[in-house]
Amino acid sequence: MSVRPILRFPDPLLSMPTSKAVQFDAELAALAADLLDTMRAAPGIGITAPHIGVLQRLTVIELDAPSGTKIYVNPEITWSSAETISHAEGSVSMPGITEDVIRPSQVRVRYQTIVGEVKEDEADGLLSICLQHEIDQLDGIFWLQRLSRLKRDRAIKRFAKQGKAADS
């Protein structure tokens, strides 16, 4: 379909909760296709509709070719493990900046497919981390909010410095 512009931190739309998708039609499928193209061009392994300025509960994740592309409409976490995992996270809206985030190591997610079918999957490892990260984004929680104040401030300063270097 097409690569769309990605909103950059600190765009206020990145901190707004999304609305549920209610129309499972060609427009939703086109949005998902645009998200996939945009994510691949970024490059990234996950992206949400808010990253391109659309406040709708839609995320696309593609960890690697063998796993394939996963599209989640209206996803929600219904269970998460007590066991945690730490992993470096970042955002297509804040390229070049990563920090370790601690999250539950496993989750169960209820979502709808692109045609509206309700499903529930369990995930662990990187898929679990990605789902939590992207669902946070759909809830208006930018990944930096999962960091300590010190780590968050350092990441924001690094991003600002990186932007100034690019402008030079």
Query: Which stretches of 95-138 are assigned E, i.e. beta strand?
Result: 99-104, 106-112, 118-124
CATH level 2 (architecture), domain 12-167? Alpha-Beta Complex (3.90)
pLDDT in tens, 19-35: 999 999 999 999 999 99
Domain locations in the chain as residue ranges: 12-167
pLDDT in tens, 117-142: 999 999 999 999 999 999 999 999 99
Q: How confident is the model at residue 67 (pLDDT cuts 50, 70, 90)?
A: confident
Task: Tell whether omega for the bond before 5 is within 30 degrees of 0, i.e. cis.
Answer: no
User: What mean pLDDT, rounded, does the chain reach?
Assistant: 95
Active site residue 99: no
Cα separation of 70 and 57, whole Å? 14
Cβ contact 5:11 at 8 Å: no
Cβ contact 35:47 at 8 Å: yes
